[in-house]
Structure formats: C-alpha cells, structure tokens
C-alpha cells in the first residue's frame, strides 16, 4: 500500500438503511406507513398541513434513534483504513456517521437536523425526538425537517459531481444505476475508474462493461467486497 491512499467513492441508497429496519418509500409503492408521498414529503404538503408533515418526520426520527448501523455501514467505515473514502448517500439517517465514516455527503438532507422554513441556510443540529409547531429559528420562523422534499432542488448535487470526478474506485450499494441521482453521478466518474454495484435486483445486461455486479443485499456483500478492495489499496 502506497503512502497516498487511493480515492474511493461509495454511493449508498435506501437498501443499506433498510437492513437496519428503516423503511423506504419505494418499498411500499410510494406509501410509507400508509402515508402518501404527496401528503408528507413535498413543499405543498408543508403548506397544507404542517402538523401531518411534522408527525411523519417525528415518527421517522424516533425510529432512527432506535436503529443501529449494520454490517454494510461498518464495512464502508472500515474502508477508511485503506482508502481516502468519500460517502455520498441518498439516505437521511446518520448510520454511516455512527458506524465511523468521517466524510459523508447527504444529498437528501439529514433527519437529525432542522432548518428554517423561510431561510433554508439556517440549519441546526436537532437532538430532540419531535419538532413542534412553535419551534422557531433565530429569525422567528418555524423550523422544518432538514430534508429535500420532492420538487425541491438538491443543493449538494454539485459537490457530489465534484467528488465523483476524482474517484479512482467506485462502489454503488443499496440502489440501482438507473434511478436518479445515481444515474447522474456515474456520468462524472472517470472512464478508467473501477466500479462495483451491489444490488440484488439489477442484472448484468443492464450494466456498462466496466461494472462488476454483486447480486446480493448490502449487509452480506459489503464485508466481502471490503476484503476484495483491500488488495487494491
């Protein structure tokens, strides 16, 4: 292993969090615990019914407090012993951080943070289980979940593209390559970058030639891939 660590990018999706018991919209065909996406995860929903939106995210936050990192999160964190690792995730939980990953970019926000509904750059860590009506930012406006809702811009996207441009090794886990934003990020990865996809639902014929497919769940596949990647460090 040389003194300078190779740059390894891990892009993680909902499949990684699902193995820690955190559900996803896609599992339920757009429903989450019987909530419709349009009623709880759009700017229009927030304007129409703040109480319902807060109830939904407060429930998710409580579930997150009970969840723990799984073997996939831990294997990804261990990669930092061998590589210069960046994690880009679609997930809004903090399980990567709790497992030990130190450079994590959250594309869709973070459940354990809140932001001002009026000034989205006013972002705060939030350790309580529940955001309540009347919880205000320093300028006197209601706090909302620090989550990118459907129909909103993804502010971290440019940073993600920059990280992807420098990746020497690239692992996609817990999502497929044909779902945005993963589909966009792969276009920025250099042509000579070695790439792996961990996804039980993808098939070889869908993949560009340079990709290696591991048709398994994240928790089973990631520790094995860790051992394979160590040899490339």
Average pLDDT for 123-131: 95
Average pLDDT for 36-48: 93
Q: Beta-strand (E) ranges in 92-214?
A: 104-106, 109-116, 123-125, 143-147, 169-173, 194-198, 211-214
User: How high is the pLDDT of residue 203?
Assistant: 83
Residues 6+ apart with CB under 8 A from 3: none
pLDDT tens figures, 64-121: 999 999 999 999 999 999 999 999 999 999 999 999 999 999 999 999 999 999 999 9
Tell me: pLDDT of 32 over 70.
Answer: no
Region class of 37: left (phi > 0), else alpha (psi between -120 and 50), else beta: alpha
Region class of 194: left (phi > 0), else alpha (psi between -120 and 50), else beta: beta
Query: For the chain, which domains are there?
Result: 1-21+69-108+154-233 (3.40.50.1220), 23-66+110-147 (3.30.1600.10)
Q: Sign of the CA dihedral 130, 136, 142, 147?
A: negative
How many residues are there in the chain?
A: 233
User: How high is the pLDDT of residue 26?
Assistant: 56
Of the pLDDT bands very low, low, confident and very high (cuts 50, 70, 90), residue 30 is very low
Q: Which residues are catalytic?
A: 108
Alpha helices in 68-156 (DSSP H): 71-78, 95-99
pLDDT tens figures, 172-227: 999 887 777 767 899 999 999 999 999 998 887 778 888 999 999 999 999 999 99
pLDDT tens figures, 151-163: 999 999 999 999 9
């Amino acid at each position: 292993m040389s003194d300078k660590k190779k740059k390894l990018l891990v892009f993680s999706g909902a499949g990684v969090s699902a193995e820690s018991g955190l559900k996803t919209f896609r599992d339920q065909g757009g429903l989450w615990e019987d909530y419709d996406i349009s009623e709880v995860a759009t700017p229009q929903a927030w304007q129409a019914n703040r109480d319902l939106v807060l109830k939904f995210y407060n429930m998710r936050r409580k579930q997150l407090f009970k969840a723990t990192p799984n073997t996939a999160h831990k294997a990804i964190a261990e990669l930092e012993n061998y590589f210069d690792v960046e994690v880009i995730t679609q997930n809004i939980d903090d399980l990567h951080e709790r497992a030990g990953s130190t450079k994590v970019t959250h594309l869709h926000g973070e459940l354990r943070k809140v932001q001002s509904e009026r000034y989205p750059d006013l972002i705060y860590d939030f350790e309580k289980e529940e955001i309540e009506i009347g919880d205000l930012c320093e300028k006197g406006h209601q706090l909302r979940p620090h989550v990118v809702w459907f129909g909103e811009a993804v502010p971290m996207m440019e940073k993600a593209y920059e990280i992807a441009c420098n990746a020497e090794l690239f692992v996609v886990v817990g999502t497929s390559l044909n779902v945005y934003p993963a589909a966009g990020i792969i276009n920025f990865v250099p042509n000579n970058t070695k790439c792996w996809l961990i996804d039980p639902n993808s098939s070889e014929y869908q993949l560009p030639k340079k990709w290696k497919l591991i048709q398994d769940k994240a928790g089973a596949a990631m520790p094995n891939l860790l051992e394979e990647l160590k040899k490339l460090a």
